[in-house]
């Protein structure tokens, strides 16, 4: 089995975006040849940059899908499809909600959760899409931090295979191309800007492949996802001016006693995290004002049903990580 050599990093400060785009479109064209490829667009910076690179290289020989897995943020499928429509890139929505929730049912261990999502994406959904479309390649937006953290055994990033000695051709029946794998987030943002993506996209905060299931501690159900989705929308809205690297809401597994309408309520807890970081390898919590934290708590406890407690994480990475799962 071929295990790829260590990836050579291109630092954002040394990156020539025009040259990078030219090199990568050539590499994609020559790898795919006369064949066809598919890719999944999640609406994050990485998959958006790959979508644009792939379309530059392959035009209509690349088919782009948005996999509606049921664990994305509020309003995402429509928003992403309409943004790319405006950029001239057609995106087809694939409804795979049932498959993802079925795979996640009863799974509480963080790595098993990640594995359940990996298998559903790559074996079930992409496997089927590749078969139906006749494509030989899957283009994806793996970046160097994903590879590092997987190899280091910190978190199984759902999009890393070859570096773990897994041959996607054998495991799933198609080849994977990763044009961004030499970059970190800051480099991808520069490339995304050069590719003509709007600022709302190239400066968008990172969002993990396992989506909101990385923000539910313990078992994932549609009901819990709905809670964390609502809290996420509030946190993203209220912290959008913070200029922080990333901010999120996490739903805890354990409940605490609260009081609502003068009655005891054994309710849920939301943890807010807001990070200062350059490349996600290390991070420190943003020193948000107490007024802002209080306003966040008020809105979350008022607008998200069943939530009676809101906390703010003040530990650095390491030993914390950015996501909770
Ligand atoms: P952690 O939680 O490991 O996250 O400190 C570092 C950065 O990576 C993002 N992240 C992921 N991105 N697939 C991705 O594409 C994943 O499985 C994944 N897990 C974490 C996280 O949001 C943070 O920006």
Mean pLDDT of the chain, nearest integer:
94
Averaged pLDDT, 294-317? 98
CA 228 / ligand 1 centre spacing (Å): 17
| 2 — pLDDT class (breaks 50, 70, 90) | very low
Domain with CATH 3.30.300.10 in the chain: 216-312
Beta bridge partners of 251: 216, 270
Q: Which of 282-321 are b and which e, b meaning 16 or more Cβ less than 10 Å from the residue's Cβ?
A: ebebbebeeebbeebbebbbeebeebbbbebbeeebeebb
pLDDT tens digits, one per residue of 62-115: 999 999 999 999 999 999 999 999 999 999 999 999 999 999 999 999 999 999
Q: Structurally, what CATH architecture does the domain formed by 216-312 represent?
A: 2-Layer Sandwich (3.30)
Q: Structurally, what CATH architecture does the domain formed by 12-202 represent?
A: 3-Layer(aba) Sandwich (3.40)
From residue 248, how far is each of 218, 227, 271, 301, 314 by CA, in Å? 17, 13, 8, 16, 13
Q: Is the CB of 178 under 6 A from ligand 1?
A: no
Whether the per-residue pLDDT at 4 is higher than 60: the answer is no
Q: Measure the CA–CA gap between 42 and 67, rounded to whole angstroms.
A: 7
Closest residue by Cα to residue 40 from 181, 140, 146: 140
pLDDT at 173: 86
322, 324, 325, best to mutate for ligand 1 pocket (most atoms within 8 Å of CB) = 322
In the structure, how many helices (H) and strands (E) does the chain have?
A: 12, 10
- Single pTM value for the model: 0.89
CA 208 / ligand 1 centre spacing (Å): 5
Averaged pLDDT, 180-191? 96
Whether the per-residue pLDDT at 286 is higher than 90: the answer is yes
More confident: 29 or 157: 29
More confident: 114 or 5: 114
More confident: 194 or 159: 194
Averaged pLDDT, 12-16? 97
3-state SS assignment for residue 46:
helix
Q: Is the CB of 44 under 6 A from ligand 1?
A: no
Closest residue by Cα to residue 317 from 264, 246, 268: 246
Q: Measure the CA–CA gap between 153 and 29, rounded to whole angstroms.
A: 33
Tokens for 262?
A: 């003068």
Instruction: Supply the residue whose CA is at minimum distance from atom 20 of ligand 1.
Output: 208
pLDDT at 5: 58
Q: Is the CB of 320 under 6 A from ligand 1?
A: no
* Sign for the pseudo-dihedral over CA of 163, 214, 114, 64: negative
Which H helix or E strand runs over 307? strand 307-312
Q: Is the CB of 323 under 6 A from ligand 1?
A: yes
* Of the candidate ranges 17-31, 137-151, 243-257, 303-317, the one whose mean pLDDT is the lowest: 137-151
Note the residue count of the chain. Answer: 325
pLDDT at 3: 45
Closest residue by Cα to residue 223 from 303, 306, 296, 298: 306
Residue 317 CB-half CA count within 13 A: 21
Among residues of the chain, what percentage have pLDDT more than 90?
Answer: 85
Q: What angle do CA 31, 32, 37 make, to 5 degrees?
A: 135
Whether the per-residue pLDDT at 1 is higher than 50: the answer is no
Averaged pLDDT, 212-238? 98
Domain with CATH 3.40.50.620 in the chain: 12-202
């Amino acid at each position: 089995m071929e295990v790829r050599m260590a990836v050579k990093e291109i630092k954002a400060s040394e990156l020539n975006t025009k040259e990078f785009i030219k090199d990568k479109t050539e590499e994609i064209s020559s790898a795919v040849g006369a064949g066809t490829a598919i890719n999944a667009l999640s609406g994050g910076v990485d998959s958006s940059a790959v979508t644009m690179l792939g379309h530059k290289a392959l035009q209509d020989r690349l088919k782009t899908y948005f996999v509606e897995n049921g664990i994305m943020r509020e309003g995402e499928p429509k928003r992403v499809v309409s943004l790319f429509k405006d950029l001239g890139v057609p995106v087809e929505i694939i409804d795979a909600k049932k498959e993802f929730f079925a795979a996640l049912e009863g799974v509480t261990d963080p790595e098993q959760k990640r594995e359940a999502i990996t298998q559903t994406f790559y074996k079930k959904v992409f496997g089927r899409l590749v078969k139906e479309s006749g494509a030989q390649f899957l283009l994806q937006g793996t970046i160097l931090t994903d590879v590092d953290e997987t190899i280091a055994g910190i978190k199984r990033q759902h999009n890393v295979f070859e570096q773990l000695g897994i041959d996607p051709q054998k495991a799933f029946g198609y080849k994977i191309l990763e044009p961004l794998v030499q970059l970190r987030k800051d480099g991808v943002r520069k490339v995304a800007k050069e590719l003509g993506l709007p600022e709302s996209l190239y400066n968008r905060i990172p969002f993990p492949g396992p989506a909101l299931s990385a923000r539910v501690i313990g078992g994932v159900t549609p009901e819990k996802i709905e809670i964390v989705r609502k809290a996420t929308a509030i946190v993203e809205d209220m912290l959008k001016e913070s200029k922080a690297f990333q901010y999120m809401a996490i739903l805890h597994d354990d409940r605490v006693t609260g009081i609502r309408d003068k009655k005891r309520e054994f309710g849920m807890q939301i943890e807010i995290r807001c990070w200062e970081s350059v490349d996600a390898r290390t991070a420190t919590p943003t020193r948000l004002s107490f007024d802002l934290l209080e306003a966040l708590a008020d809105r979350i406890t008022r607008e998200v049903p069943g939530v009676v407690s809101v906390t703010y994480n003040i530990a650095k990475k390491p030993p914390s990580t950015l996501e909770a799962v």
